[in-house]
Amino acid sequence: MRVGILGTGVVGNTLGTKLVELGYDVKMGSRTASNDKAAEWVKSTGSSRASQGTFADAASFGEIVFNCTLGGISLEALKMAGGQNLRGKVLVDVANSLDFSKGMPPTLIISNTDSVGEQIQRTYPDVKVVKSLNTVAAPVMVNPQIVPGDTDIFVCGNDAGAKEQVKKILGEFGWKNITDLGDISASRGTEMWLALWVRLMMKNQNPIFNLHIHRPS
Distance of CA 66 to the CA centre of its chain: 6
Q: Where are the beta strands (DSSP E) in 58-173?
A: 64-67, 90-93, 98-99, 107-108, 128-132, 152-157
User: Does residue 34 sit in helix, strand or coil?
Assistant: coil
d(CA 117, CA 185): 8
Q: Does 9 bind its own copies (CB under 8 A)?
A: no
Q: Where are the beta strands (DSSP E) in 17-93?
A: 25-30, 50-54, 64-67, 90-93
Nearer to its own copies, 47 or 143 (CB): 143
Q: Pattern 118-157, binding to its own copies, x per CB under 8 A?
A: ----------------------------xxxx-x----x-
Q: Does 164 bind its own copies (CB under 8 A)?
A: no
The CB-of-116 to its own copies minimum distance in angstroms stands at: 14
Using the rule CB under 8 A, which residue among 107, 123, 158, 177 binds its own copies?
Answer: 107
Q: Read off φ and ψ for residue 41, nearest 5 degrees.
A: -65, -45
Nearer to its own copies, 85 or 134 (CB): 134
d(CA 26, CA 36): 17
Please give the single-letter amino acid code of residue 119. Q
The CB-of-197 to its own copies minimum distance in angstroms stands at: 8
Q: Does 205 bind its own copies (CB under 8 A)?
A: no
Stretch that binds its own copies, among 4-12, 43-51, 70-78, 205-213 (CB under 8 A): 205-213
Positions in the binding site for its own copies (CB under 8 A): 105, 107-108, 111-113, 146-149, 151, 156, 179-182, 185-186, 188-190, 192-193, 195-200, 202-204, 206, 208-217
